[in-house]
Structure formats: C-alpha cells, structure tokens
Amino acid sequence: MSEPTDSTNSPLRMRRSTTAEQIKHLIMQRGLRPGDTIPTEAELCNDLGVSRSSVREAIRTLATLDIVEVRHGHGTVVGNMSLTPLVETLVFRGALTPGDDLEALREVIELRRVLDLAFTDAVVDAHKGKANPIIERLVTNMVERSNNNEPFLSDDRLFHSEMLSPVGNPLAVQLVAAFWDIHTAVLPKLDLALPDDMRQTAQAHSDLYWSAQRGDHEGYRHAVIAHYDPLVRMLQKQAKS
C-alpha cells in the first residue's frame, strides 16, 4: 500500500484546489462584479504562488467559461458569464458528426420549439394589450425583407429575445438566445432557405407578436408551430434521402 504522498514536504501545498478555482475564490472574496478588473498575471503569480504559465492557463480556462474577459494590452476583467461556452460546445458537437448532424439540429430545433411553447402563457400574458414599438418594427422589417428575398437573421434573434424578455427570467432569455445561436451556426451546413419558407417564417413572427398582443394563447401556439414548420419539413425531407 503506497501512502498517498503525505505532502508534508511541501509546506504551502495544502491547497488541493486548482489555480482556476483559487482565482474564482478570489473574485468571490473581493466581491468583484462583471467589468471589474482582476489582478494582473504577475500579481496573481505572487498572490497564489504559482508560475506565470499556470496563471495563464487558469485565466484561459476562466475566459473560456466567460467568467473573465481578457483584453490584450489592457488587463483582465470579470466577464458576464454568458452561455457562450454552451454554444461553442454544442456547435462543435454538431459540426463534428459528419452524417449525423441533422439529428443534432433536430434536437436543437425541438428544444427551441418546446421552450417557446412552454413559455406561451407567460409571454402572452406579458404582452397582452401592450404595444411594443421595437418588436413591431422588427416584425414589419422581417416581413418586408422576406418579400424581397433578403435575409433577416439579426432581426430574428432580437425578436425572440424581446418577446421573452418581459417574462422576468433573464436566464431563460439567454438560453433561447443560445439555442438560436447553435441553430443558426449548425444550419448552414444544409441547403435550404427557400423563399417561400422565409416568407412563412417572417409571417409566423408577425403572428406570434400580434397573437400575444391580443391575448390569444391558442393563436400564439399555432404561430409557434408554423414558425418551426419549414424547418421540421426540411428535416423530414432530408431524413428520407
């Protein structure tokens, strides 16, 4: 039985935690908020008693998780802890599987649809009777663009965030935005975007807003179905081939 290295030979090594965890601990201890600067690499080397490389790898880890944000030549600040790591992981997972990527896309789209349906009541109640100039402008813009066969990606993303925003769950807003990002990142690998489908999608956005605006839960649900219908049909067609 080999003794597990009693570590008494390393005086300051009672830390089993990694450098990244120590930096996280430091952020919590000092009560730093997103945007606040964290100590420089050199300071962290002294404070934590580790080398520059270790500090850099730890910061790299935290930057990947969007827990910190590195600004070249300026310094490192606390990040806003977005869902970027989720997006990156799932986008790569979708891009990795060569023949099976539409299965990954199907799962993402189903989740988006299910989430939209799940928030139906909250969204409709939040928008009922309240005009929203921002969303109205987005909707008219999307419809117009679809008629000219122009894309409307950025409007699309903003629309869904704005619709979900007033329900009072920022995490949910971020999550659907993240799935939107994954969706649009994985999708271009497949050929689609037919003009008719684009027009149907734009119209569905319009129906979503106006259904919610007049408190029509059932109409909203139908609009959700119609919104994802072109994608579902496309996936079924691809699956047959």
- Which residues contact DNA (rule: CB under 7 A)? 2, 4-5, 7, 18, 40-42, 45, 49-54, 56-57, 59, 70-76
Q: Is 168 helix (H, G, I), strand (E, B) or coil?
A: coil
Judged by CB under 8 A, the number of residues near its own copies is 41
- Contact pick of 39, 41, 50, 56 for its own copies (by CB under 8 A): 56
- Contact pick of 45, 48, 55, 90 for its own copies (by CB under 8 A): 90
Binding mask 94-133 for its own copies (x = CB under 8 A): -xx-x-----x--xx-xx--xx-xxx--------------
Residue 128 phi/psi, 5-degree rounding, is -60, 120
Nearer to its own copies, 90 or 102 (CB): 90
54 binds, among its own copies, DNA, none (CB under 5 to 8 A by kind): DNA
Pairing type for strands 75-78 and 68-71 reads antiparallel
What six digits make up the tokens of 167?
């329900």
For residues 127-160, b (16+ Cβ closer than 10 Å) or e, as one string? beeeebeebeebbeebeebbeeeeebeebbbbbb
Nearer to DNA, 63 or 232 (CB): 63
181 binds, among its own copies, DNA, none (CB under 5 to 8 A by kind): none
- 173/160 Cα distance (integer angstroms): 8
28 binds, among its own copies, DNA, none (CB under 5 to 8 A by kind): its own copies
Nearer to its own copies, 101 or 136 (CB): 101
Residue 15 phi/psi, 5-degree rounding, is -75, 115
In whole angstroms, the minimum distance from the beta carbon of 204 to its own copies comes to 19
Contact between 181 and its own copies (CB under 8 A)?
Answer: no
Binding mask 8-47 for its own copies (x = CB under 8 A): ----------------x--xx--x----------------
Nearer to its own copies, 33 or 233 (CB): 33
From the list 58-66, 152-160, 211-219, 231-239, the region that binds its own copies by CB under 8 A is 58-66
Q: Report the 3 state secondary structure along 54-72.
A: HHHHHHHHHHHCCCEEEEC
- 210/207 Cα distance (integer angstroms): 5
36 with 78: CB under 8 angstroms? yes
| 41 closest CA partner among 80, 79, 64, 70 | 70
